Structure 1
Amino acid sequence: MNKRTLWAIMIVMALALMGVAIIQFLWIKWSVSLDEKNFNTRVFLALNEVRDRLTEDNQSKDLVKDYYKQKKQNSLIGNDELNLTQNIISSKEKSWSRQRIEFEIRSNMMLFDPEGFLENIDNIKLDKYLKTAIQNQNINLDYEYGIFSNKNDAFLIVNGNYVPDFGDVAQSSVIETGKGLYNTEYKLSIFNGEEVDPGSIRIYFPDKNSWLWRSVMPVMSLSILFTGLILFCFIYTIMVIFRQKKISEMKTDFINNMTHEFKTPIATINLASDSIGNPTIINNQEKVKKFVGIIKEENRRMLSQVEKVLQMARLEKEEIKLKISKIDVNELIENAVENARLSVIPKSGDIALALDAKNPEIEADQTHLANIIRNLLDNAEKYTDGAPHIRVETRDSSDKVEIKIKDSGIGISKENQKHIFDKFYRVHTGNRHDVKGFGLGLSYVKSIVDILGGKISVNSELGKGSTFTITLPRKQNLKK
């Protein structure tokens, strides 16, 4: 898969994921809007119910007042019991239609004194009617309510309590503390008529918005969860694709480098073999020995390279077996340094030792530990422009021994430091052969250190060299 195709797939997947997220958001928003419309309808139905009951109460009250007023007038003008009885009988004989006409007339007469109607509203009944109406509409939210007078621009009743002194400081305080109620969208005129509008009944739900969102919270939570899972899978898939692409490139580099590493000794062996077969050489024992030595050396070199690959394969399958024994770290390092100096000194370099560990004895596999030191010394020499200057230190660290190998090489960038212990990874990739190797050295070092229960870290800066620090325990819990 080439880079262009990969980026095209990423863009399509990103757009698809974005589209799903937008659709989910719009659907949730639509659901909240629908719930809000339904809630608004129920609130206004409740307010209509309260208004109707208040109107009925006021009409009944007027009829009772008129009855007692008429009774009083009759007694004042001296009507006797017979006349009163006749009036009552006459009233009973009125037809239903006549009573309804009188009721409508009296209802319409209220319009001449709308403010009187507002001021005569019973706060206790108002509270009772509102609670009943709200319950009838299955609304279970806390609310604030009030009766508002348009004439005075003030509340007459707030939350079941009368508010005195319209227009004064107290009223301003009521409005200030009840801004939600004052500005509420839920208000209904006390009268249906358009000509007279004395005031309104208002109700406010402080927790309405949070309640609306809570109602869709389960669906929204699941939506966010699944969208998050899709996003995670998308990101993880992209990371895996890039990682696999990187591994593929490293394997290709490994094969190219391995081919180069094997091609050189094979060519040398082939040339030496041809030379031995030459009639002028075959009778010269000195030259024959020389070419046989070259063949053996190149063969040893190839065998060493093959062994590295096989070791990594065994490490990966966890088939490698360590031979644990007591080792003097200082002594092992001195031997490794002596061999490394053979390739460092010709380049005008040097290797300094500061073996300060007072108790250098640890339990480890001597062969693999020696390979670790040789690998790090070999890298310190190879990745240096000019004369390599290397310093090896040891020191005690409680129940561990610490080994540091410092060089004056080209250094390693922060980005490369994250991957130098990965198998096949090389700082110099591609078909460059200025530095030989398979990219297995540091991966091998890290694997052995981990098996021994130790830790390895690197501190490096481009152009200023690198420092590898290995910490190994003195005692091993591995089976010998």
Structure 2
Amino acid sequence: MHHNVIRRVIVLGLIAILGIIGMQTYWVATTWNLNDTEFSQKAQLALYGVARQLAAENDADLPKRDIVRQRSSNYFIVNTESEINAQRLEYLMQQELQRLHLDVDFEYAIFDCSTNEMAYGGYCTAESQQLPTDPETGSYLPPDEGLLYYFGVKFPTRVGYIWQKMQLVVFLSVILILTVAFFAYSLLVILRQRRLATMQKEFIDNMTHEFKTPLSTIRIAAGVLARDPHVAGDARLSRYAQLIHAQYQRLNEQVENVLQIASTEKGGFTLRRERIDLQELLPPLLSSARARTEERDGHLSWQLPDRAVPLYADPLHLTNILHSLLDNAIKYGGTPPRIAITGHVADRHLHLSIHDDGPGIAAEHQERVFEKFYRVPTGDVHDVKGFGLGLYYVRQICRAHGWNIRVESAPGYGTALHLRLPLTPVPQAAVPA
């Protein structure tokens, strides 16, 4: 993956994550505020209802204003201006809270005029049960100045009640945190894999370039050795010289494949397209492929259009991919190899097919044959050597040209590779007036 692509993924991912976190934070804060406001409103309504009923029972009038004062987020002062019975207060509080569906614990205290302090009343749960509480160990409910008959109510479980109302929001927030953590972990894995892939690629590139000098030396030495009269006159030495040259050609071909792949991945290659006739390009390739096929007692046949096949392509890369496809067909076309090349023109395209009678490829491997370094598993048998770069190079060049390539195969029925190449209109000669 290119450095710019990695950078875009990181930046866009961070922007998306920050946006999602910002929206989630705003949602949580807004939901909290709404639930807190709802709690305060219900608590004040319940306390006002209690004050109104106490005043009615005492035949007293409620103050015109400031009946319920919120001293803190969970502590309220209620002014009644009439005497307050503790048991009756507790009962009315429970009834009002149940009526408003405010299932929350509370504790209360009543102002004592004789001591000028708050007399702790008790702690009541949402299940309408009073817990035995020592007034000295209960919560401190501060008094209010300027009032004579009033009581204070504190809701110690207010925060837990609000969080309980926000269970869905909390659940979604946890999911979001896990998603962010997974994204961060995935990003670290991507960066680590990118670094390892870069190191591997640089190592292969450097190693391949280092092979060029000794290969050139081997080629020259093998040529000199083969031309020596003493070696040429000795059948055993001549066979060794030919073996050295053949192995040089094989290794040099693999090195060139690696270098070509490296140049295509770096974007360092440029297609030099020109108008060419495939009928002029194919004969040398077919002649060479037929000779190699017949060396293995195989058979190569072709059936191509009997007319010009004009293409707009890079002749070097087109030659390379056709050579690679023919080479694959020869290597994997069975023993002995039987290869058939067919081509026909339809819809202003050349449909070229290279078919062999080899063992075929299972469906789960057909798409992966175009991946770099991928080779169809053959167990412990490795009759055909290679790096798995040929078809990868073919697909890269086809993509650069905008061509279509696909594989058609089945185990036991051979393999066919289909190319679809657009034809280039041949300009008509000017007709003299």
Identify the residue that residue 182 of structure 2 maps to in structure 1. Answer: 231
Deviation of residue 464 (structure 1)? 3.6
1:48–1:188: 8 Å Cα contact kept in structure 2?
no
Q: CA RMSD in A?
A: 5.9
| Letter of the 1:56 counterpart | A
Secondary structure (helix, strand or coil) at the match of 1:426 reads coil
Deviation of residue 382 (structure 1)? 0.9
In the TM superposition, 1:40-189 aligns within 5 A as: 43=42, 46-57=45-56, 60=59
1:328–1:361: 8 Å Cα contact kept in structure 2?
yes
2:291 equivalent to 1:338: no
Deviation of residue 361 (structure 1)? 1.8
Deviations 1:46-94 (A, max 9, x none): 3342143145346549xxxxxxxxxxxxxxxxxxxxxxxxxxxxxxxxx
2:213 equivalent to 1:213: no
Distance 1:50 1:297, change over 3 A: closer
Deviations 1:354-385 (A, max 9, x none): 43697732111223212211211111221234
2:312–2:423: 8 Å Cα contact kept in structure 1?
yes
Deviations 1:90-128 (A, max 9, x none): xxxxxxxxxx99x99xxx9xxxxxxxxxxxxxxxxxxxx
1:272–1:294: 8 Å Cα contact kept in structure 2?
no
2:247 equivalent to 1:315: no
Identify the residue that residue 454 of structure 1 maps to in structure 2. Answer: 403
Distance 1:257 1:432, change over 3 A: farther
Q: 1:413, 1:244 → 2: CA distance?
A: 33
Q: 1:256, 1:385 → 2: CA distance?
A: 33
Q: 2:59, 2:347 → 1: CA distance?
A: 97
Secondary structure (helix, strand or coil) at the match of 1:412 reads coil
Q: 1:314, 1:247 → 2: CA distance?
A: 14
1:361 pairs with 296, 310, 325, which one?
310
Identify the residue that residue 422 of structure 1 maps to in structure 2. Answer: 371
Task: Identify, as 1 or 2, the structure richer in helix.
Answer: 1
1:275–1:281: 8 Å Cα contact kept in structure 2?
yes
Deviation of residue 340 (structure 1)? 1.3
2:339 pairs with 390, 405, 408, which one?
390
Identify the residue that residue 472 of structure 1 maps to in structure 2. Answer: 421
Deviation of residue 267 (structure 1)? 7.8
Q: More relative contact order in 1 or in 2 (CA 8 Å, sep 6+)?
A: 1
Q: 1:254, 1:411 → 2: CA distance?
A: 32
Deviation of residue 451 (structure 1)? 1.9
| Letter of the 1:421 counterpart | F
Q: 2:303, 2:226 → 1: CA distance?
A: 48
Q: 1:254, 1:408 → 2: CA distance?
A: 35
Deviations 1:114-166 (A, max 9, x none): xxxxxxxxxxxxxxxxxxx99xxxxxxxx9979xxxxxxxxxxxxxxxxxxxx
Q: 2:386, 2:208 → 1: CA distance?
A: 7
2:385 equivalent to 1:436: yes
2:330 equivalent to 1:381: yes
2:263–2:269: 8 Å Cα contact kept in structure 1?
yes
Secondary structure (helix, strand or coil) at the match of 1:420 reads helix
| Letter of the 1:447 counterpart | Q
Deviation of residue 45 (structure 1)? 5.4
Secondary structure (helix, strand or coil) at the match of 1:446 reads helix
Instruction: Answer with 446-455 or 466-475: which moved more.
Output: 466-475
Deviation of residue 299 (structure 1)? 5.9
Distance 1:383 1:60, change over 3 A: same
Secondary structure (helix, strand or coil) at the match of 2:182 reads helix
Q: 1:415, 1:243 → 2: CA distance?
A: 27
Identify the residue that residue 408 of structure 1 maps to in structure 2. Answer: 357
Q: 2:308, 2:99 → 1: CA distance?
A: 81
Secondary structure (helix, strand or coil) at the match of 1:314 reads helix
2:353–2:418: 8 Å Cα contact kept in structure 1?
yes
Q: 1:474, 1:357 → 2: CA distance?
A: 15
Secondary structure (helix, strand or coil) at the match of 1:381 reads helix
Q: Which runs of 5+ in 1 are unaligned?
A: 1-27, 62-99, 109-132, 135-142, 147-184, 190-207
Distance 1:256 1:413, change over 3 A: farther
Identify the residue that residue 77 of structure 2 maps to in structure 1. Answer: none
1:266–1:298: 8 Å Cα contact kept in structure 2?
no
Distance 1:337 1:44, change over 3 A: same
Identify the residue that residue 94 of structure 1 maps to in structure 2. Answer: none
Deviation of residue 450 (structure 1)? 1.8
Q: Which runs of 5+ in 2 are unaligned?
A: 1-26, 61-81, 89-95, 102-124, 130-160, 426-433
Secondary structure (helix, strand or coil) at the match of 1:375 reads helix
1:269–1:298: 8 Å Cα contact kept in structure 2?
no
Q: 1:427, 1:250 → 2: CA distance?
A: 22
Q: 1:415, 1:249 → 2: CA distance?
A: 27
Secondary structure (helix, strand or coil) at the match of 1:391 reads strand
Deviation of residue 351 (structure 1)? 3.2
| Letter of the 2:185 counterpart | F
Q: 2:333, 2:183 → 1: CA distance?
A: 42
| Letter of the 2:181 counterpart | I
Count of residue pairs brought into register by the alignment: 314
| Letter of the 2:342 counterpart | E
Q: Which structure has the larger Rg over C-alpha atoms?
A: 1
1:352–1:392: 8 Å Cα contact kept in structure 2?
yes
Deviations 1:398-435 (A, max 9, x none): 35333222222233345544443333443469998632
TM-score (norm 1): 0.47
| Letter of the 2:375 counterpart | R
Distance 1:263 1:337, change over 3 A: same
Distance 1:386 1:243, change over 3 A: farther
2:205–2:262: 8 Å Cα contact kept in structure 1?
no
1:265–1:298: 8 Å Cα contact kept in structure 2?
no
Percent identity between the two aligned chains:
25
Identify the residue that residue 3 of structure 1 maps to in structure 2. Answer: none
| Letter of the 1:229 counterpart | V
Distance 1:255 1:420, change over 3 A: farther
Q: 1:251, 1:466 → 2: CA distance?
A: 34
| Letter of the 1:371 counterpart | N
Secondary structure (helix, strand or coil) at the match of 1:469 reads strand
